[in-house]
Amino acid sequence: MAYEVSRDQSEEGEPSSSRVFAKHSPLEMVPEVESDQDESSFEALPLTNFGPKRRRRRTTTRVHRSRLRSLCSFWKCRHLYCHIHPYSRRAMLCRFVKRPFWGAVIVLGLLKIASLFWSGLVYLFPDDLDARLDAWVFPAGRPSIFSHWTTHGVVPVRCHSHNDYWRDVPLHSALTAGCIGVEADVWPSNNDLLVGHTPFTLHHEVTLQSLYLNPLLDLLQKHNTRSSQLEPAHHPGSFRAGVFSSDPSQTLVLLIDFKEQPEATWSMVTEQLQPLRDGDYLTYFNGTDIITRPLTVVVTGDAPFDRITSNQTYQDIFYDAPLDQLALLPPSTEQPDPPGPETEPTYSYKNSYYASVDFRKTVGSLSRNRFSQGQLELVRKQVEAAHARGLKVRYWGTPSWPRGLRNHVWHVLINMDYFEFARVKPPIPYTKGWRFSARSHATPAPTPVTLDGCRNSDNGREERATLSSVDRCCKHPPLPGDLGQQTVDLEVLDPIRVGDGHSAQVFNVRVLNPESNTETFQGTRELVAKVYDPLYLNDLGGYLNPFLCVDKHYTHEAHTYRVLSDLQGDLIPRFYGSYSTDIECQDIGDDAEKDEIRPRTVRLILIEHIPGRSMLQAGPGNFPQRDRQQIMKSVIEFESEVYRRDILLTDLSPRNVMMVPPGSRRQCSLVFLDFAGALFGRKLDEPLLAGREFFLGSTSLQFCDGRRV
C-alpha cells in the first residue's frame, strides 16, 4: 500500500510541518522525533521538487540504503522499541547479550569452516603445502646448515625413499624422516655415475658419490669416532654405529638402479664403494652368514645377477629379486639339509636382500578400495615365498591417492609382512595318524551377524603385533556352551583341506571306539571332521578377528544341520554332532623359556563322508546339456527349499556341491556342504538393515568373515 505525503501549510504558503511515509509496511513507519534524538536512523526526505518521478527514485534509493544498513550495522539493534528506549532492559539485553552471543557463534563457525578447509588441503596436498611453506620461510632457499642434518632423536621406520634424488635435500631428507632405505638411479657417463630419472635430467655435478657415497662416509666416520671408545660388550672389535643415533645397529639400505650398460656400471659401483668397504661399513656375506653393517648396498634394474653369484665366499653387493617369480621357484627352506649345487635356489639371502615387484602390475586395482580374497591370497603367497628365502618384501607403485586407500594398502601390507616374518606358528597337528579325543558339546545360539561384526579392532591389531599366536588363542577361548558326557576317540586318515590360511581344517577320521557310541554313529567308522581352529585361520593380515570368525562359523553350521535335519542323508550329509577337544601346542618364540607346551581348546563337528568329486573339479564339458540343466535345476531347488525355511546360504559355490557317483545309496546325485556362512531369518542382525532381505544375485555384500552374497 502506498502512503501519500501530507503536509500542513501556514498562511504564507510555507510548510510548517511534514511527515514522510515510504512505501513500507505500517510497522516500519517512523514518527517525527525531536532534534536532539538520533535522526540518522530515520528516513526523512525534503519536500521540495517531490514529483512522481522524483518520489519513485528517492523511494528506491531509500530501500537500497535500508538493506545496506541492515547488512552492515550488525551490532545495532533493529527493534523500533530499542531505538526509542535505548536504555530499557530490552535494549540492554539486545546490546550486551544477544548480539555478542550470536556474533561469537558466527565467528566460531567461520573459524571452524576455515579449520576444516585447511585440514582438507593438508589431507589432499601435503607435499605441495610443505613446498610452499618452505618457499615462504626460506625465500632464498634453505640455508647451508640443512646440508649437515643429523639424525639425533630420529626413530627409524620401515619406509623406503623412492627416487630419493627428487627430494629437496637428497639422502638427508629421508634420514630425517626415519627412512631405512633410499634409492638412486644411476647412468654411466665419462667414468662416473650420474644420478637422475631420465637422461634429460642428468647433470655432471649430480653424481652417486656427491649425493650419497661421500655424505654417508662422512656421517659414518663422524658417528664412529666416539663409538670406538664406547664399544658395546656384545660386539667386541666389530661394532659399527649406523646413521641413526637412536638405533645405531639399524642398517641403511642404498638401492642402486642400473639404467644402462650393466657391466660398466657394475665396475664403477664396485670401485666407488671401496672407501666404505675399507671402513668396514658395508654389509657382506662371508660364505656362511650375513654380517650386518651400517650400510647395505642392493642393486636392481639392469644389474648383472651373475656378477653377484660369481663369488661364493665374499659379497657386499646384493640383488633385488623379482617377487612375482619367487612363488614359482622352490625355496631353500624346503630342503631339510643344505642344498647342493643342483638344488640351490636362484634367489636367497646369500645373494639377495629385497624381493620387489610393481604393486599395480601384480596385484592390480582394488575394487571398492579394498583387497579381494584373490588379491590377499596372492600377496600372502608372495610374502611367504620371500620370507622362506630370508628376503625382505618391498612393493613399489602402491596407490598414493586418495589417502584413505593409500593408508589401507600400507596397513594390510605391513601387517602381512610382520605376521609372516615375526610370528611363527606351531606345526599343524592335523596330520595322518594323529589321534585325539573329543567330548560332545552343545553349541550356543548362533552368533549375531553384522556387516562389521568380525572386523578386528585397533586393540586386536595391537594385540596381534605384540602377543604370540598361541598366547592369543589361550587368551580368547571359544564360546563356552555345555559339555556333554559322550567321548569319542578319533584318528586322522587323510587330509581334505588342511593348512594355514583356511577358515576350517577338514580331514577324514576313523572312530576308534564305535562300540561306546552305537546310538550316535550307528556302526559308521569313517567320518569327516571339520575343526574350527582360529590359530590357522586366514585373518587377512589382521583385518579380521579370527576368534569371532570361528565362533560364527561353528555355531551357524551346527545350527543349520539341526534345522535341516530332515534333509540329512539326502541333500546334505548326516550330522553326527558337535564336539570340543584340547590340543597341546608348543609356543615357538625367541625366548627359550616360552617354548612350553600348553593346551588350547577348539570346536569341531563330525559329518558323513561323501564320496565323489565337487562341481568345481568336474568339467562342464564332460556332461551333456540335459545333465547340466538337471544339475542346475537341483541346485536352484535346494536353495529355494532352504530359503523357504528362512535360511540364506551365502557360500553356495561349486566347490561346496558334491556330485555323488551313480550306484550309491543316495536318492539325489548332488550333496551340499559348508553352511558356516548361513544367515537365519534371511537377513543380517543389523538394526539398520533388519527389514532388508538379501537374495542370491543381489548387490554384492561383504560380511564380517569375508564372505560375499
For the ranges 92-106, 395-409, 422-436, 676-690, the one whose mean pLDDT is highest = 92-106
Q: Are strands 647-648 and 679-680 parallel, antiparallel or unpaired?
A: antiparallel
Q: Within a 10 A sphere around the Cβ of 497, how many other Cβ atoms?
A: 12
pLDDT-above-90 percentage for the chain: 29
**Cα(646)–Cα(644) distance, integer angstroms:** 5
What residue spans define the domains of the chain?
157-221+240-329+346-421, 434-612
Q: What share of the chain is helix, strand, coil (3-state, %, to 5)?
A: 40, 20, 40
What DSSP designation does 135 have? H
Split at pLDDT 50, 70, 90, the class of 705 is: very low
653: left (phi over 0), alpha (psi -120 to 50) or beta: beta
> Quick one: which of 417, 413, 539 has its CA closest to 473?
539
> Quick one: which of 638, 669, 674, 633 has its CA closest to 653?
674
Q: Give me the half-sphere count of Cα atoms (radius 13 Å) on the Cβ side of residue 274.
A: 6
For 635, the grid coordinates are: 541346485
User: If one looks up domain 157-221+240-329+346-421 in CATH, what number appears?
Assistant: 3.20.20
pLDDT by residue (tens digit) across 197-234? 888 888 888 999 999 999 999 989 888 875 444 444 33
Cite the annotated binding site by residue number: 530
For the ranges 326-330, 440-444, 618-622, the one whose mean pLDDT is highest = 440-444
User: Can you tell me the mean pLDDT for 131-145?
Assistant: 58
Q: Residue 701: its pLDDT value, please?
A: 37
pLDDT by residue (tens digit) across 560-572? 999 999 999 889 9
Cite the annotated binding site for ATP by residue number: 530
**Cα(434)–Cα(489) distance, integer angstroms:** 11
Q: Within a 10 A sphere around the Cβ of 431, how many other Cβ atoms?
A: 11
**Cα(645)–Cα(290) distance, integer angstroms:** 63
Burial class (CB in 10 A: 0-12, 13-18, 19+), 701: middle
pLDDT by residue (tens digit) across 576-596? 999 999 998 866 544 434 456
**Cα(346)–Cα(350) distance, integer angstroms:** 10
pLDDT by residue (tens digit) across 628-664? 899 999 999 999 999 998 898 988 888 899 988 876 6
CA 140 to centroid of chain Cα atoms: 41
Exposure string over 127-154, b if 16+ CB within 10 A, otherwise e: eeeeeeeeeeeeeeeeeeeeeebebeeb
Higher local confidence (pLDDT), 486 or 136: 486
Q: Residue 67: its pLDDT value, please?
A: 54
Q: Which amino acid is at 618?
A: A
Q: Residue 706: its pLDDT value, please?
A: 41
Does the structure show a pLDDT above 50 at 343? no
For 411, the grid coordinates are: 596397513
Q: Can you tell me whether residue 20 is helix, strand or coil? A: coil
- Across the chain, what does the average pLDDT equal? 77
Q: Residue 417: its pLDDT value, please?
A: 52
Does the structure show a pLDDT above 80 at 403? no
For the ranges 301-310, 325-334, 382-391, the one whose mean pLDDT is highest = 301-310
The C-alpha cell 658395508 sits at 282
Split at pLDDT 50, 70, 90, the class of 506 is: very high
User: Can you tell me the mean pLDDT for 444-450?
Assistant: 88
**Cα(135)–Cα(183) distance, integer angstroms:** 25
**Cα(393)–Cα(417) distance, integer angstroms:** 7
User: If one looks up domain 434-612 in CATH, what number appears?
Assistant: 3.30.200.20
